[in-house]
Amino acid sequence: MPNSEDLGSSSGSELFPPPDVLNRLAVSESGFVFDPSSGHNFTVNETGLVLLRLLLKEQRLDQILEKLRNEFDADPRDIERDVIEFVSALRENVGA
């Protein structure tokens, strides 16, 4: 499994779905996510919603990890692992 050190500049661009894919998602306040292009929908929890909103801002992986470390009381390695797993699942759900 890749980690931020494996991503070189920590941009996350190789890891994240493309911006056009992220921008087409309809995201509700409750965490319901709908992809009108594919028709897929799924629900994310509060943490997933925070992460998805950060991804929609097209931020770098290192910036996202830093913001999540500041917001959540968790081991930084767990946060990084969870981000990588979330993004992987997101890519599968939106076909990116």
pLDDT of residue 76: 94
pLDDT of residue 13: 61
Q: Which residues of the chain have pLDDT under 70?
A: 1-13, 58, 96
pLDDT of residue 93: 85
pLDDT of residue 11: 62
What secondary structure does DSSP assign to the chain, as a single string? ---GGGGTTT--TTTSPPHHHHHH-EE-TTSEEE-TTT--EEE--HHHHHHHHHHHTT--HHHHHHHHHHHS-S-HHHHHHHHHHHHHHHHHHHT-
Q: Which domain holds residue 75?
A: 4-94
12-39 confidence digits (pLDDT tens): 667 888 888 899 999 999 999 999 998 9
* Phi and psi angles of residue 34, each rounded to the nearest 5 degrees, phi first: -125, 130
Domain harbouring 52, CATH code: 1.10.10
Retrieve residue 46's tokens. Answer: 């509060």
Domain count, the chain: 1
86 neighbors 48 (Cβ within 8 angstroms): yes
pLDDT of residue 1: 44
- pTM of the predicted model as reported, rounded to 2 decimal places: 0.79
- How far is residue 25's CA from residue 76's CA, in Å, rounded to a whole number? 28
